Amino acid sequence: MQIREFKIEDQKEVIKLWKECNLVAPWNHPENDIKIKMEVDPDLFLVGIHDDKIIATVMGGYEGHRGWINYLAVSPEFQMKGLAKKIMNCVEEKIKAKGCPKINLQVRERNSKVLAFYESLGYEVDNVVCLGKRLDSDK
């Protein structure tokens, strides 16, 4: 797998992959997420390519205090081959190069398979409660 930065021409294929990996929830708008990402740290939005096909993605971020990981995806047919670890290592190095001391990410509690994956990479459950507020709806 070759890793490179996302290009806008990749959008349709990336969104298809995210849907295959069940990363798109009803309240998510992947086109908007990509548009916004391209305005902030676009160099941290990576895709993995195999035979001219996008088979992996990761969207990293750094706002000056903490790094963040979103949209880590590997095509189901390529999972369990070390590709998620490879693309995560790449984005971690890019975030670290910006001076970031710590990366945060969020995983739904019920997703034990993904939790185990991140733990294998050295991530630990922080003793914090994640709060959120939607700013893009009238609710």
Q: Is 135 left (phi over 0), alpha (psi -120 to 50) or beta?
A: alpha
What does each C-alpha distance from 30 to 3, 35, 113, 125 come to in angstroms? Answer: 21, 8, 23, 27
46-100 residue pLDDT tens: 999 999 999 999 999 999 999 999 999 999 999 999 999 999 999 999 999 999 9
What are the boundaries of each domain within the chain? 2-103
Superfamily of domain 2-103: Gcn5-related N-acetyltransferase (GNAT) (3.40.630.30)
Q: Phi/psi of residue 70, each to 5°? A: -140, 160
Both tokens assigned to 88: 């995560």
pLDDT number for residue 138: 57
How much of the chain, in percent, has pLDDT values that exceed 90?
74
CA 123 to chain centre: 15
CA distance 12 to 3: 18
